[in-house]
Amino acid sequence: MLAPRSEVAPSAATTIRLEGVQKTYRRNGVPVAALRGLDLEVGSGEFVAIMGRSGSGKSTLLHILGLIDAEYEGRYELDGQLVSGQVADALAPLRNRMIGFVFQTFHLLPQLSILDNAALPALYARDRDALRCRADARRRLEEMGLGDRLEHRPNQLSIGQRQRAAIARALVNDPRLLLADEPTGALDSRTAQEILGLLAELHARGATIVMVTHDPEVAAAAGRVVLIRDGQAHDRRA
């Protein structure tokens, strides 16, 4: 169970603002438009699901939101800061400090304990000493119900426990935005519901979450669904 947090008034601030974002790839010399002047706003504290057919631009959008892909046209403001047009070296520390990632396949390093895995983003941030990094990782893992598994390696955990460890790692720097890419795709239905419950609890405590999924039942856990079609965003309430 996550530790309680004091109640805060709902914020009208915007965490994500995209305006006229365009992304074009070249395949065999032929230009292919992935995003076509996409506009999107996500308010602070929202839980938004992104859906769309294969090839619709969901992954492209997630890479842009996560400051992984900087080669696009248009404007992107993250938590009020203009991030479009910045070079990769400038985006890396912003990504580490402001965004947490949860992946379908966890991306935990097999040679490290889950405590060391969860501490990695904090160590990369270089804003606290190693003892504090491990203490923050321990706290997040305990919130995920893994306090008795800290020295276990990923292959010693169940699939659900691995995803919980990955969520703890995503939260260790207290990010402004949590991006989840098919976070239940590798899980059985019961474990998937547990992970969705954790995301819902994080949202209830004020987290801003954007989740990519192809599953309407998973999308229903969010408060808002955005469909990506023909390279543009079409909003509908879940």
Closest to 170 in 3D by CA, of 227, 235, 95 = 95
Question: Could you report the per-residue pLDDT of 9-67, keeping only the tens digit for each?
Answer: 334 589 999 999 999 988 888 888 999 999 999 999 999 999 998 888 999 999 999 99
Distance CA 211, CA 205 (A): 17
Distance CA 2, CA 216 (A): 26
Residue 23 in any domain: the answer is: no
User: For residue 123, what are the domain limits?
Assistant: 47-70+87-237
Question: Could you report the per-residue pLDDT of 136-187, keeping only the tens digit for each?
Answer: 999 999 999 999 999 999 999 999 999 999 999 999 999 999 999 999 998 9
The domain tally of the chain equals 1
CATH number of the domain that residue 141 is part of: 3.40.50.300
Residue 222 in any domain: the answer is: yes
